[in-house]
Amino acid sequence: MLICSKRGWELPESAATPEGVYLNRRALLQAAAAVPLLVGPFSQAFAQQNSAQQTSVGGAARNPRYTLDRPVTGEDYATTYNNYVEFGSQKSIWKAAQKLPVRPWTITIDGMVEQPMTIGIDDLLARMPMEERLYRHRCVEAWAMAVPWTGFPLKALVEMARPLGSAKYLVMTTFQKPEVASGQKQFWYPWPYVEGLTMAEATHELAFISTGMYGKPIPPQNGAPLRLTVPWKYGFKSVKSIARFTFSDQRPKSFWEEIQGSEYGFWANVNPEVPHPRWSQKTERMLGTDERRPTLIYNGYGEFVASLYRDMEGEKLFM
Ligand code: MTE
């Protein structure tokens, strides 16, 4: 996320580098104390496809229920302009991300379930109902894209996992492999990347696990072999390269919330009326173009999801 010390609207988009690591005071002090020589660069620094991958994305039929109000973003843009801090804090991490081995890939399902399990990615995919969906994506940094994702409804995985009735949250955790993901050697980040949804969100029809995009297996830089896709929330909720699904009765503290809780909260629903503390959220730039569009509440998915948040006036739903 944005690491810049200037307010977002004072920067050209091209300079608004990765979502940002705007370190909280505790982490900064710890890091500075441990590695004094690195203090200078903090303002910046914070600031192959695996050939064995055989995801059956080609034949998945498009679900016509989910339509776009804008052109699909060019594949070249969506796959080369990424946020993936495990591989660096710039947008151009796509080459570095090819180091991630996406086969074999084992997924652990644990916590408040009838029976914890581990399952290989291909065995999991064979059990899931695959389809293609066109979804908008809105990054908290105010850029947006529209992508044909292939994958399966998260609800199908939840049903397979058989959570206990007492489970309230689904926590999703990225792999931990500092030997291939050099960003994970940066000890001031709270690795591994973690995100969470309530059970109502996780079983909502829009919550999707993407395993492909543009009719092909999803590339490592976009979150191979499986990533969350929740289009009504800011992009940082869409955790990439998930290795663990944990059911819990405790609300998790997510990666960005841990780093800068005053800017990145649990709910993170898109809302143009609630600015980020450092920039406006009123408009968004379409990736690969200079076009700016007005941002829509719930990223345009209000008719699907607004009812999830009824009677939650006390919550900070939009950060
Ligand atoms: N997941 C992991 N593990 N690490 C990350 O840095 N970045 C998030 C999200 N998921 C991130 C992540 C952010 S901030 C965004 S906007 C989207 O991934 C970007 O997805 P894209 O690169 O496919 O556009």
Atom of ligand 1 nearest to the CA of 139: 16
pLDDT of residue 21: 33
Question: Residue 53 C-alpha to ligand 1 middle, in angstroms?
Answer: 21
Ligand 1 atom nearest the C-alpha of 85 is 6
Name the nearest CA neighbour of 247 among 160, 155, 192, 172: 172
- 182 in a domain, yes or no? yes
Q: Is the peptide bond before 192 cis (omega within 30 degrees of 0)?
A: yes
80 lines ligand 1 (CB under 6 A): no
Which residue has the CA at smallest separation from atom 12 of ligand 1? 239
Atom 9 in ligand 1: residue holding the nearest Cα: 236
Q: What is the DSSP string of 191-230?
A: SSPEEEEEHHHHTSTT-EEEEEETTEEPPGGGTTT-EEE-
Mutation pick for ligand 1 pocket among 174, 216, 236, 256 (CB with most ligand atoms within 8 Å): 236
Q: Domain span at residue 69?
A: 13-309
- CATH code of the domain covering residue 68: 3.90.420.10
Q: Establish whether residue 86 lines the binding site of ligand 1, counting it when its CB lies within 6 angstroms of any ligand atom.
A: yes
Question: In terms of Cα–Cα distance, which of 15, 16, 38 is closest to 276?
Answer: 16
Residue 225's contacts (CB-CB under 8 Å, 6 or more residues apart) are 53, 55, 102, 103, 105, 121, 211, 217, 218, 241
Judge whether residue 318 has pLDDT over 60: yes
- How many whole angstroms separate alpha carbon 177 and alpha carbon 220? 14
The C-alpha atoms of residue 74 and residue 231 are separated, in whole angstroms, by: 18
Ligand 1 atom at minimal distance to the Cα of residue 234: 16
123 within some domain: yes
Q: What is the pLDDT of residues 5-48, one digit of tens each?
A: 332 222 333 333 333 333 333 333 333 333 333 222 222 323 33
Q: Is 7 part of a structural domain of the chain? A: no
Question: In this structure, is residue 215 part of a structural domain?
Answer: yes
Q: Work out the angle at residue 155's Cα, subtended by the Cα atoms of residues 225 and 61, and round it to the nearest 5 degrees.
A: 65
Residue 149 lies inside a defined structural domain of this protein: yes
From the CA of 193, give the closest atom in ligand 1.
3
Mean pLDDT of the chain: 86
Beta-bridge partner residues of 245: 109, 172
Please state the atom number of ligand 1 nearest to the C-alpha of residue 241: 3
CA of 13 to the centre of ligand 1 (A): 17
Taking only the tens place, the pLDDT of each residue in 112-154 is 999 999 999 999 999 999 999 999 999 999 999 999 999 999 9
Q: Residue 66 carries which side chain, given as an amino acid letter?
A: Y
19 CA closest ligand 1 atom index: 14
**Cβ of residue 237 lying under 6 Å from some atom of ligand 1:** no
pLDDT in tens, 209-248: 999 999 999 999 999 999 999 999 999 999 999 999 999 9
Considering only residues 259 and 2, tell me which one the structure prediction assigns the higher pLDDT: 259
Cross-strand partners of 150: 132, 212
Instruction: Give per-residue pLDDT as tens, 261-298.
Output: 999 999 999 999 999 999 999 999 999 999 999 999 99
**What domain count does the chain have?**
1
CA neighbours closer than 13 Å in the CB half-sphere of residue 230: 28
Q: What was the pLDDT predicted at 12?
A: 31
Q: Give the pTM.
A: 0.86
The answer to whether the beta carbons of residues 204 and 109 sit under 8 Å apart is no
Higher-scoring residue by pLDDT: 135, 57:
135
Q: Which residue is closest in CA terms to ligand 1's atom 24?
A: 82
**80 found inside a domain:** yes
Q: Does residue 244 lie within any of the structural domains? A: yes
- 150 phi and psi angles, rounded to 5 deg: -110, 145
Predicted pLDDT of residue 57:
73
| Mutational test site, ligand 1, from 1, 75, 79, 83, max ligand atoms within 8 Å of CB | 83
Q: Is 201 in the pocket of ligand 1 (CB under 6 A)?
A: no
Residue 58 confidence class, pLDDT cut points 50, 70, 90: low
Residue 4, domain member (yes or no): no
Residue with tokens 């960005």: 256
